[in-house]
Amino acid sequence: MSTIDIAVVDYGMGNLRSVSKALEHVAPSKNVVVTSRPDDVAKASRVVFPGQGAMPDCIKELDARGLRAAVLDAAQNKPFLGICIGLQMLFEHSEEGDAAGLGLFKGSVKRFVTENMVDAQGEKLKVPHMGWNQVYQHRSPDANAHPLWHSIEDGARFYYVHSYYVRPEDEGIIEGFTNYPERFTCAVAKDNLFAVQFHPEKSAHAGLQLLSNFVSWTPK
Protein backbone atom coordinates (compact mmCIF):
# COMPACT_ATOMS: atom_id res chain seq x y z
CA MET A 1 0.00 0.00 0.00
CA SER A 2 1.60 3.23 -1.13
CA THR A 3 1.84 6.18 1.21
CA ILE A 4 -0.28 9.20 0.38
CA ASP A 5 1.55 12.33 1.46
CA ILE A 6 -1.07 14.79 0.19
CA ALA A 7 -4.64 13.93 -0.77
CA VAL A 8 -6.51 16.43 -2.94
CA VAL A 9 -10.21 15.81 -2.31
CA ASP A 10 -12.18 15.30 -5.52
CA TYR A 11 -15.96 15.49 -5.17
CA GLY A 12 -16.57 16.16 -8.84
CA MET A 13 -16.68 19.95 -8.65
CA GLY A 14 -14.00 21.54 -10.78
CA ASN A 15 -10.77 20.63 -12.50
CA LEU A 16 -8.25 19.83 -9.79
CA ARG A 17 -5.31 19.33 -12.11
CA SER A 18 -3.91 22.83 -11.48
CA VAL A 19 -4.00 22.24 -7.71
CA SER A 20 -2.26 18.87 -7.90
CA LYS A 21 0.34 20.15 -10.39
CA ALA A 22 1.16 23.13 -8.18
CA LEU A 23 1.61 20.82 -5.18
CA GLU A 24 3.82 18.49 -7.22
CA HIS A 25 5.89 21.51 -8.27
CA VAL A 26 6.58 22.66 -4.71
CA ALA A 27 6.92 19.12 -3.30
CA PRO A 28 8.38 16.90 -6.04
CA SER A 29 9.35 14.17 -3.57
CA LYS A 30 5.82 13.84 -2.17
CA ASN A 31 3.09 11.50 -3.39
CA VAL A 32 0.19 13.77 -4.35
CA VAL A 33 -3.08 11.94 -5.10
CA VAL A 34 -6.33 13.42 -6.41
CA THR A 35 -8.98 11.16 -4.91
CA SER A 36 -12.70 10.74 -4.30
CA ARG A 37 -12.13 7.80 -1.93
CA PRO A 38 -12.80 8.43 1.78
CA ASP A 39 -10.17 5.80 2.68
CA ASP A 40 -7.49 7.73 0.80
CA VAL A 41 -8.41 10.94 2.60
CA ALA A 42 -8.29 9.10 5.92
CA LYS A 43 -4.81 7.65 5.38
CA ALA A 44 -3.21 10.74 3.81
CA SER A 45 -0.69 12.69 5.85
CA ARG A 46 -2.08 16.03 4.60
CA VAL A 47 -5.34 17.00 2.93
CA VAL A 48 -6.17 19.76 0.46
CA PHE A 49 -9.88 20.55 0.05
CA PRO A 50 -10.46 22.70 -3.06
CA GLY A 51 -13.54 23.24 -5.17
CA GLN A 52 -15.52 25.51 -7.42
CA GLY A 53 -19.18 25.83 -8.32
CA ALA A 54 -22.34 26.41 -6.34
CA MET A 55 -22.39 25.58 -2.63
CA PRO A 56 -25.54 23.38 -2.71
CA ASP A 57 -24.09 21.26 -5.51
CA CYS A 58 -20.75 20.92 -3.73
CA ILE A 59 -22.35 19.70 -0.51
CA LYS A 60 -24.58 17.30 -2.45
CA GLU A 61 -21.67 15.80 -4.37
CA LEU A 62 -19.50 15.56 -1.25
CA ASP A 63 -22.22 13.54 0.47
CA ALA A 64 -22.92 11.44 -2.63
CA ARG A 65 -19.32 10.21 -2.52
CA GLY A 66 -19.41 9.55 1.21
CA LEU A 67 -16.68 12.09 1.85
CA ARG A 68 -18.24 14.25 4.57
CA ALA A 69 -16.96 12.27 7.57
CA ALA A 70 -13.47 11.85 6.12
CA VAL A 71 -13.17 15.56 5.33
CA LEU A 72 -14.40 16.62 8.77
CA ASP A 73 -12.02 14.19 10.47
CA ALA A 74 -9.09 15.46 8.42
CA ALA A 75 -10.02 19.08 9.12
CA GLN A 76 -9.72 18.40 12.83
CA ASN A 77 -6.78 16.01 12.99
CA LYS A 78 -4.14 16.61 10.27
CA PRO A 79 -2.65 19.48 8.26
CA PHE A 80 -5.60 20.66 6.18
CA LEU A 81 -5.84 23.37 3.51
CA GLY A 82 -9.22 24.57 2.22
CA ILE A 83 -9.36 26.53 -1.06
CA CYS A 84 -12.24 28.69 -2.39
CA ILE A 85 -15.46 26.66 -1.91
CA GLY A 86 -13.31 24.48 0.33
CA LEU A 87 -13.25 27.46 2.71
CA GLN A 88 -16.94 28.33 2.39
CA MET A 89 -18.13 24.76 2.99
CA LEU A 90 -16.51 24.75 6.45
CA PHE A 91 -19.10 27.24 7.75
CA GLU A 92 -22.68 26.71 8.92
CA HIS A 93 -24.74 28.25 6.15
CA SER A 94 -24.50 29.92 2.75
CA GLU A 95 -26.82 32.42 1.13
CA GLU A 96 -26.05 30.61 -2.12
CA GLY A 97 -29.04 28.33 -2.50
CA ASP A 98 -29.86 28.68 1.21
CA ALA A 99 -27.47 25.76 1.77
CA ALA A 100 -26.23 24.23 5.01
CA GLY A 101 -22.47 23.85 5.20
CA LEU A 102 -20.34 21.40 7.17
CA GLY A 103 -20.61 23.51 10.32
CA LEU A 104 -17.00 23.23 11.43
CA PHE A 105 -16.95 26.98 12.06
CA LYS A 106 -19.77 29.20 13.28
CA GLY A 107 -20.67 31.82 10.74
CA SER A 108 -22.17 32.25 7.31
CA VAL A 109 -21.34 32.75 3.65
CA LYS A 110 -22.63 36.01 2.21
CA ARG A 111 -23.01 37.36 -1.33
CA PHE A 112 -21.42 40.65 -2.28
CA VAL A 113 -24.15 43.30 -2.07
CA THR A 114 -24.61 44.80 -5.55
CA GLU A 115 -25.45 48.33 -4.41
CA ASN A 116 -22.27 48.48 -2.31
CA MET A 117 -19.96 47.47 -5.15
CA VAL A 118 -18.45 50.89 -5.91
CA ASP A 119 -14.75 51.74 -5.64
CA ALA A 120 -13.19 54.93 -4.23
CA GLN A 121 -13.47 56.62 -7.64
CA GLY A 122 -17.19 55.84 -7.89
CA GLU A 123 -16.71 53.10 -10.49
CA LYS A 124 -18.90 50.01 -10.33
CA LEU A 125 -17.15 46.83 -9.29
CA LYS A 126 -18.11 43.55 -10.92
CA VAL A 127 -19.48 40.45 -9.26
CA PRO A 128 -18.01 37.89 -9.32
CA HIS A 129 -14.83 39.33 -7.84
CA MET A 130 -12.40 38.01 -10.42
CA GLY A 131 -8.69 38.65 -10.78
CA TRP A 132 -5.79 39.78 -8.63
CA ASN A 133 -6.21 41.53 -5.30
CA GLN A 134 -4.11 42.22 -2.23
CA VAL A 135 -4.20 39.99 0.82
CA TYR A 136 -3.50 41.59 4.19
CA GLN A 137 -2.38 39.30 6.97
CA HIS A 138 -4.58 39.74 10.00
CA ARG A 139 -1.61 39.59 12.36
CA SER A 140 1.59 41.53 11.84
CA PRO A 141 4.09 39.64 9.68
CA ASP A 142 6.72 40.63 12.26
CA ALA A 143 4.89 39.18 15.25
CA ASN A 144 2.80 36.03 15.59
CA ALA A 145 2.43 35.55 11.84
CA HIS A 146 0.88 32.25 10.88
CA PRO A 147 3.47 29.78 9.45
CA LEU A 148 1.61 29.68 6.13
CA TRP A 149 2.43 33.37 5.62
CA HIS A 150 6.16 32.65 5.87
CA SER A 151 8.12 34.59 3.21
CA ILE A 152 4.90 36.15 1.84
CA GLU A 153 4.73 39.94 2.01
CA ASP A 154 1.78 41.58 3.73
CA GLY A 155 -0.34 42.92 0.88
CA ALA A 156 0.85 40.31 -1.62
CA ARG A 157 -1.50 39.76 -4.54
CA PHE A 158 -3.48 36.54 -4.99
CA TYR A 159 -5.98 35.43 -7.62
CA TYR A 160 -9.73 35.32 -6.91
CA VAL A 161 -12.90 34.06 -8.60
CA HIS A 162 -15.95 34.28 -6.30
CA SER A 163 -19.28 35.96 -5.65
CA TYR A 164 -19.59 34.94 -1.98
CA TYR A 165 -17.37 35.40 1.07
CA VAL A 166 -17.28 34.02 4.62
CA ARG A 167 -18.31 35.96 7.70
CA PRO A 168 -16.98 34.14 10.79
CA GLU A 169 -18.63 34.65 14.17
CA ASP A 170 -15.27 34.14 15.88
CA GLU A 171 -12.90 36.87 14.75
CA GLY A 172 -10.08 34.93 16.42
CA ILE A 173 -9.89 32.53 13.47
CA ILE A 174 -9.37 35.30 10.87
CA GLU A 175 -5.87 35.20 9.32
CA GLY A 176 -6.29 37.45 6.30
CA PHE A 177 -8.57 39.95 4.62
CA THR A 178 -9.02 41.65 1.26
CA ASN A 179 -10.88 44.82 0.24
CA TYR A 180 -13.55 44.67 -2.49
CA PRO A 181 -14.51 47.42 -1.86
CA GLU A 182 -15.17 46.72 1.82
CA ARG A 183 -13.05 44.39 3.92
CA PHE A 184 -13.93 40.69 3.76
CA THR A 185 -12.28 37.66 5.34
CA CYS A 186 -10.11 35.74 2.87
CA ALA A 187 -8.22 33.39 5.21
CA VAL A 188 -9.04 31.56 8.42
CA ALA A 189 -7.03 29.22 10.63
CA LYS A 190 -7.48 27.09 13.70
CA ASP A 191 -5.04 24.51 15.05
CA ASN A 192 -4.19 22.20 12.10
CA LEU A 193 -6.47 23.93 9.60
CA PHE A 194 -5.86 26.82 7.22
CA ALA A 195 -8.36 27.85 4.53
CA VAL A 196 -8.38 30.61 1.92
CA GLN A 197 -10.87 32.19 -0.49
CA PHE A 198 -8.28 32.89 -3.19
CA HIS A 199 -6.61 30.31 -5.45
CA PRO A 200 -2.96 29.79 -4.44
CA GLU A 201 -2.47 27.40 -7.38
CA LYS A 202 -3.22 30.33 -9.74
CA SER A 203 -1.36 32.99 -7.76
CA ALA A 204 2.19 32.78 -9.14
CA HIS A 205 5.07 33.08 -6.66
CA ALA A 206 3.03 34.03 -3.58
CA GLY A 207 0.62 31.15 -4.14
CA LEU A 208 3.39 28.62 -4.63
CA GLN A 209 5.07 29.90 -1.48
CA LEU A 210 1.87 29.36 0.49
CA LEU A 211 1.55 25.81 -0.86
CA SER A 212 5.20 25.14 -0.04
CA ASN A 213 4.60 26.44 3.48
CA PHE A 214 1.63 24.10 3.83
CA VAL A 215 3.65 21.08 2.71
CA SER A 216 6.30 21.74 5.39
CA TRP A 217 3.89 22.92 8.11
CA THR A 218 3.86 21.06 11.42
CA PRO A 219 0.91 22.40 13.46
CA LYS A 220 1.54 22.80 17.18
Candidates 58, 138, 146, 201; catalytic one: 201
Query: What is the spatial distance between Cα 49 and Cα 28, in angstroms, rounded to a whole number?
Result: 20
Candidates 129, 138, 162, 199; catalytic one: 199
Candidates 58, 84, 138, 162; catalytic one: 84
Is 162 a residue of the active site? no
| Residue closest to 166 by CA, chosen among 109, 127, 113, 128 | 109
Is 84 a residue of the active site? yes
Is 186 a residue of the active site? no
DSSP assignments along 71-140, one per residue? HHHHHHHS-EEEETHHHHTTEEEETGGGEE---SEEEEEEEPPGGG-B-TTSPBPPSSEEEEEEEEESS-
CB neighbour list of residue 65: distance below 8 Å, 6 or more residues apart: 11, 12, 36, 38
Active site residues: 84, 199, 201
